[in-house]
């Protein structure tokens, strides 16, 4: 009510009063819908981005209307570190920001701690594993912590609350297992690629149908009319290792086997043409360091 004598209202409220009011009904965290709210993702090279979205800290709302990105500091030559992306409520400055914080390189690096006191309160959106001497930040280097109630969590009402900690722990454990498998497979395939790069003659006896020749791979087959295409790819990385295309035209069967390097370049290609009428085979072999070689032999 307005006091006509003083021109002042008998009750005044500021932003903190409203924030305290909302904080009694809503928990801190990221708004759950859509699921991409304030999602941290790898862009290119050493840049990470944050998608649009909203969050709540102590009744104060942050609304990001346009995506933002951060340049991650270059890695240490031999030591790993962990960076974080956080939402920070700074009461003395009367503002909310999304910040990238750089960790300390170490043999067993620690996650930069959250600041949580009377003046500053932070929620952690993601952790970034900055590998030693890496050339870029990958999607697998980013751990999404938005569902972790201990450091962030989702905004919920006073009655309908959701504890996502167990779900987060399960998903994180599964992710770490998949990441370890991915890294193990990538190491094996890279060693294999390096070995054939140094000695292409090792591919002379490559057996496309030998499941034990290349562990950590899967084989797929697709039939389209009179053409059968088979591929060998990394089980998790999906890197193309080799493919075989077989085409049947009348009594002639043409089979081409191609083997690739890690960068997708062709390492070796072998084409065999079999005439089912006279049981003869013509073979054409091409590859790095090889001239075309054509020969005709009896098909036994």
Instruction: Check whether 13 has a pLDDT greater than 70.
Output: no
CATH code of 2-163, in short, is: 2.60.520
Q: What is the pLDDT of residues 122-150, one digit of tens each?
A: 999 999 999 999 888 998 899 999 999 89
Q: What is the pLDDT of residues 57-116, one digit of tens each?
A: 887 888 899 999 999 999 999 999 999 999 999 999 989 999 999 999 999 999 999 999
Instruction: Check whether 281 has a pLDDT greater than 80.
Output: no
Q: Which long-range contacts (CB under 8 A, 24 or more apart) does 139-148 make?
A: 139/41, 139/42, 140/179, 140/182, 141/42, 142/40, 142/41, 142/42, 142/48, 143/172, 143/175, 144/39, 144/40, 146/29, 146/30, 146/37, 146/38, 146/39, 147/171, 148/124
Domain regions of the chain by residue span: 2-163, 200-298
Q: What is the pTM of this model?
A: 0.54
């Amino acid at each position: 009510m307005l006091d006509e004598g003083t021109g002042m209202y008998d009750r005044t409220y500021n932003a903190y009063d409203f924030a305290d009011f909302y904080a009694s009904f809503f928990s801190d965290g990221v708004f759950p819908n859509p699921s991409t709210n304030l999602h941290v993702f790898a862009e290119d090279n050493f840049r990470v981005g944050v998608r649009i979205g909203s969050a709540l800290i102590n009744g104060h709302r942050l609304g990001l209307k346009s995506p933002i990105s951060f340049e991650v500091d270059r890695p240490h030559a031999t030591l790993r570190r962990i960076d974080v992306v956080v939402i920070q409520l700074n009461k003395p400055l009367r503002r909310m920001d999304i910040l990238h914080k750089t960790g300390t390189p170490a043999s067993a690096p620690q996650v930069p701690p959250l600041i949580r006191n009377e003046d500053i309160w932070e929620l952690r959106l993601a952790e970034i594993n900055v590998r030693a001497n890496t050339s870029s930040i990958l999607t697998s280097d980013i751990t999404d912590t938005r569902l972790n109630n201990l450091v962030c969590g989702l905004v919920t009402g006073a009655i309908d609350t959701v504890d996502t900690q167990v779900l987060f722990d399960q998903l994180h454990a599964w992710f770490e297992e998949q990441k370890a498998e991915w890294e193990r497979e990538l190491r094996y395939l890279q060693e294999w690629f390096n070995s054939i790069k140094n000695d292409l003659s090792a591919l002379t006896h490559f057996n496309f149908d030998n499941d034990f020749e290349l562990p950590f791979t899967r084989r797929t087959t697709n039939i389209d009319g009179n053409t059968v295409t088979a591929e060998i790819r990394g089980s998790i990385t999906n890197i193309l290792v080799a493919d075989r295309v077989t085409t049947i035209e009348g009594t002639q069967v043409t089979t081409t086997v191609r083997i690739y390097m890690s960068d997708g370049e062709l390492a070796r290609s072998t084409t065999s043409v079999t005439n089912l009428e006279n049981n003869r085979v013509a073979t054409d072999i091409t590859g790095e360091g090889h001239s075309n070689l054509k020969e005709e032999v009896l098909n036994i």
